[in-house]
Every structure is written in C-alpha cells, then in structure tokens.
C-alpha cells in the first residue's frame, strides 16, 4: 500500500487543478441543465395549455380518418313509401355503379329488406313498421309507427336517440341512421374501390381473367380502338382516382424541385466565389453577398411561393421560382463557407507557376470544393422534392395542390392516402438515387 504525504498531495493538486479545484459550472453544470430542461418543459405545458388541448381533442376522428385511408363505404338509402313498399336508392356516384344489386341486400318474402353489414353478426332489417338492428349479440327493434322512431327496450351504449332519428354505430363495419320514413345504411369495405376502372368503363366490374381475355384476344369493344389502348385510356382517365391528373401533378412537382435546385446552384456557384473572403478579398462585396444569402434563405420557401403566386399566378413556375430563391441563399452560403475552409497550399503552389486565375481556381480550388458542392446540392435537391409538395398547397402547382384539394373535401381520404404513398415512394427513390450519385461522384464506396 502506497502512502502519499502532504507535500506529494499538494504537488498532485497543483499539477491537475481541473480535477481537484473544479469551478462551480464544472461541478453543477449538468444539474443546472437538467433543472433548466424540466423548467422549460413545465413552462411549455402551461404556455400551450396541454391539459385542455388533450382533453378537448377529437381523438375519435383519428380512427375515422385512418379507416377511410384504407377503406370505402357504400350508402344504400331505404325509403318507406306510403303504400308500405320500400324503395332502395344509392348515391349518384356510388362505387357499385349506376344500377347496383349487391348480394348483401336481400329482399325477404314478407316485403322487408335485410342488409348484412358484417356477416350475420351485424345486420339491419327494414320493414314498413319497424327496423331491427342486430349487433353485439343483441337485436334492437325500432318502431316507426309513431311521431318519431322509438327504441323498444333499453337503449344500448352503441345507439344514440335524437329527436327525429336513431343512430346505431356499428364500429368499423359502418352505421345506420333511422327515421320514420327513411333508413340510411353505411357499409364499409376494406380496399380502394374502382382503383383500376371506374364505373363508366367498359371493363368495370369484370373479373380479372375476363379483362385479360378481352385485352389479349377479345373482340373490339370500340371498332376504331384496340381493347388494350381503351383499357389504358380508361385507367388514365379514371374519374374517381384521376390517375392521369395525379401523375401529371407528381411529375410537375419533380420538375419543379429539379429546376429550382438547378437554377439555384447555377446562381449560387459564381456568387459564392465573390462572397468567400479568401477568394475575393473585397470586404464590402463579401458582406453584401453574404447578407443577400441570409435574406434569401431566411424567408421560408412557403413565403416566397405566396409572393410569387400573387405576382405570376398559381402554377409550377411560381414553385420553381420559390425554390430557386431559397436555394440561391442556402447553397450560396454553403458553397462560400466551403471555399473559405479550403487548404490554400495547392492554390498557392499553382499561383507560383504563373498560371492564370481560371487555372488556379480549376486545379487549386475545385478539387477541394467539388465534394462539398456535389454533396450539398444533391441533398438540397432531394429535400426540395418534399418542399415542392408543401408549397404546392398554396397554389404553386404540383401534387401538393391536388393533395390539399382532396383533404379539403373531408371525404376523399383514400385519395389522400394514394397521393401520400406516391410522394413517399418518390422521396424514397430520390433519396436512394441521391446517395448513389453522391457516392459515385465523390469516389466513395457504398456499404
């Protein structure tokens, strides 16, 4: 066991004061950061009134919207006539077409109609005097003979009684609205209805095998057009899913992002050389250009899009201009900072040979700055594909505007899901292409 005397101890303390004589910040800095973080969290809870926000939020809408992303509904309407007969009506643009006869709507011998909403466990039977709703293991009759529909017996928790109608919530399967002379059923199906052919197409509601047979060897549906071209035309012009318009707008978004990024890079490249202090030793010019870069990138792309749509009208030109202005500022700053951090020795060596300024830049600067330019430009290009979608919502064109229009209806959430999936696929592909191109141009090996 080694014993350290007092002199030796003082010598060690003098040699390593950072360990034996730590400052207040070193001793309590971590604790102060933790306390400050907790205090800020409590302040944020109070400032945003999170308790009230969480209590008043419509959480039930989350499930409704998500279910509508992956499903569609059919809404038959049963009208009880004065003579006791029941007329079945469907919405004008029903997913089942103009004259539907689904097998889940059954006409009974006694004149009533039974609708199977989810097999035998959830069904509705409509007659002239009552409607019977079967769900959750019970059958609840609703009388239709008095001044308002009347539930016979206790009202279950999944049924709501209003002054003039009764609403039965059957969960994801659908719901039923019952009034004296009308029973409206909403039946939900998993999937996207008529995604390939709409109800106006000659191929609508035909089995896959029959469609393939018509396209390959069947007789022409239209004498002046092959069945293959007719099928492709019907898919492209699908009135419900609007594939042609969606894909055209998606292409506009891609072009908008590419054009804006390209023009921004072309403008930022020469300006960055003028803004870099070690390349252009003119302090006033350096400061003016750097403040210009700060201004262009400090104004958000969305704000530029709003300005340009007011100036030039809605369309992809305004979107490309917004990306161009933002990228000129962003890439100009990145390029100029990259230039200011280069190693000056190669540049000085080439200058000492008496080479012209262009050659000095070409061989003394460009080999060092090219990796930064390629990497940052490709990243911004990839990021602007997402940004172009957002600015499209304010009128700059592209799929963003189409997406916003579908969301505003509050009814076409399956179309929203379709466009979101397309955007995710495009972003994923551009991310992969950007990474591969960046590694190839910079000479790095992918892992």
List, for residues 386-411, the tens digit of each pLDDT value: 888 888 887 777 888 888 888 887 77
Say what the pLDDT of residue 22 is: 67
d(CA 381, CA 430): 9
**Torsions phi, psi for 441 (to 5 deg):** -70, -30
Q: What is the mean pLDDT of the chain?
A: 86
CA dihedral angle for residue 397, residue 401, residue 403, residue 409, rounded to 10 degrees = -150
The larger pLDDT score, comparing residue 292 to residue 101, is at 292
Ranges 65-69, 108-112, 231-235, 357-361: which has the least confidence: 357-361
* Mean pLDDT to the nearest integer, 288-305: 91
pLDDT band at 445 (very low <50, low <70, confident <90, very high): very low
What is the rounded CA–CA span in Å between residue 362 and residue 370? 10
Q: Copy the structure tokens of residue 8.
A: 């030796």
For the beta carbon of residue 308, count every other beta carbon within 10 angstroms.
24
- What average pLDDT does this structure show over 223-241? 91
| Per-residue pLDDT at 269 exceeds 80 | yes
Q: Residue range 421-443: average pLDDT?
A: 83
Position 5 scores a pLDDT of 67
Q: What is the pLDDT of residue 363?
A: 77
Question: pLDDT per residue over 52-70, tens digit each?
Answer: 888 888 777 777 788 888 8
Give the mean pLDDT of 148-156.
89
Contact 80, 179 (CB under 8 A): no
Contact 191, 71 (CB under 8 A): yes
pLDDT at 252 over 60: yes
Domain positions in the chain = 75-190, 243-442
H or E element in which residue 139 lies: strand 138-143
- Model confidence pLDDT, tens digit, residues 347-383: 778 788 777 778 877 778 888 888 888 888 888 888 8
Percentage of the residues of the chain whose pLDDT score is greater than 90? 36
Taking each continuous run of H as one helix and of E as one strand, the counts in the chain are 16, 13
How much is the average pLDDT of 113-118? 91
pLDDT value of residue 18? 62
Q: Give the pLDDT mean for 230-243.
A: 92
Find the length of the chain: 447
**The CATH number of domain 243-442, selected from 2.60.120.580, 1.10.287.1770, 1.10.3720.10, 3.40.50.2300:** 1.10.3720.10
Average pLDDT of 408-415? 83
* pLDDT mean over 18-31: 72
Query: Are β-strands 182-190 and 71-74 bridged in parallel, bridged antiparallel, or unpaired?
Result: antiparallel
Tally Cβ neighbours within 10 Å of residue 436: 12
Would you tell me how many other CB atoms lie within 10 Å of the CB of residue 430? 20
List the single range of 107-111, 312-316, 320-324 with lowest mean pLDDT. 312-316
């Amino acid at each position: 066991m080694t014993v350290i005397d007092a002199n030796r101890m003082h010598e060690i303390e003098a040699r390593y004061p950072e360990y034996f004589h730590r400052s207040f910040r070193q001793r309590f800095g971590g604790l102060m950061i933790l306390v400050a973080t907790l205090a800020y969290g409590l302040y944020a809870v109070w400032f945003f009134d999170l308790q009230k926000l969480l209590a008043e939020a419509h959480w039930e809408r989350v499930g409704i919207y998500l279910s509508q992303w992956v499903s569609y509904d059919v809404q038959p309407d049963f009208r009880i006539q004065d003579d006791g007969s029941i007329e079945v009506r469907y919405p004008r643009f029903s997913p089942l077409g103009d004259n539907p006869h689904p097998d889940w709507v059954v006409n009974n011998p006694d004149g009533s109609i039974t609708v199977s909403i989810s097999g035998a466990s959830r069904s509705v039977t409509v007659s002239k005097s009552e409607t019977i709703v079967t769900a959750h293991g019970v059958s609840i009759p609703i009388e239709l003979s008095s001044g308002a529909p009347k539930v016979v017996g206790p009202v279950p928790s999944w049924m709501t009684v209003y002054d003039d109608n009764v609403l039965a919530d059957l969960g994801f399967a659908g719901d039923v609205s019952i009034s004296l002379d009308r029973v409206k059923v909403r039946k939900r199906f998993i999937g996207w209805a008529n995604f390939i052919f709409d109800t106006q197409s000659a191929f609508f509601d035909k089995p896959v095998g029959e469609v393939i047979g018509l396209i390959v060897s069947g007789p022409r549906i239209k004498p002046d057009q092959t069945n293959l071209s007719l099928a492709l035309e019907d898919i492209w012009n699908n009135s419900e899913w609007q594939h042609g318009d969606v894909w055209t707008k998606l292409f506009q978004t891609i072009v908008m992002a590419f054009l804006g990024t390209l023009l921004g890079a072309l403008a930022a490249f020469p300006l960055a050389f003028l803004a870099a202090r070690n390349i252009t030793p003119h302090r006033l010019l350096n400061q003016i250009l750097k403040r210009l870069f700060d201004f262009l990138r400090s104004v958000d792309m969305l704000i530029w899009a709003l300005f340009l749509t007011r100036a030039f009208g809605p369309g992809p030109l305004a979107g490309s201009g917004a990306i161009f202005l933002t990228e000129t500022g962003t890439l100009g700053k990145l390029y100029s900072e990259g230039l200011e951090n280069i190693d000056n020795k190669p540049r000085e060596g080439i200058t000492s040979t008496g080479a012209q300024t262009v050659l000095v830049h070409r061989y003394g600067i460009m080999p060092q700055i090219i990796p930064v330019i390629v990497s940052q430009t490709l990243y911004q290009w990839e990021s602007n594909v997402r940004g172009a979608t957002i600015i499209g919502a304010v009128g700059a064109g592209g799929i963003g505007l189409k997406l916003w229009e579908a969301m505003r209806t509050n009814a076409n959430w399956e179309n929203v899901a379709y466009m979101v999936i397309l955007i995710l696929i495009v972003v994923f592909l551009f991310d992969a292409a950007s990474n591969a191109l960046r590694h190839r141009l910079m000479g790095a090996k992918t892992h």
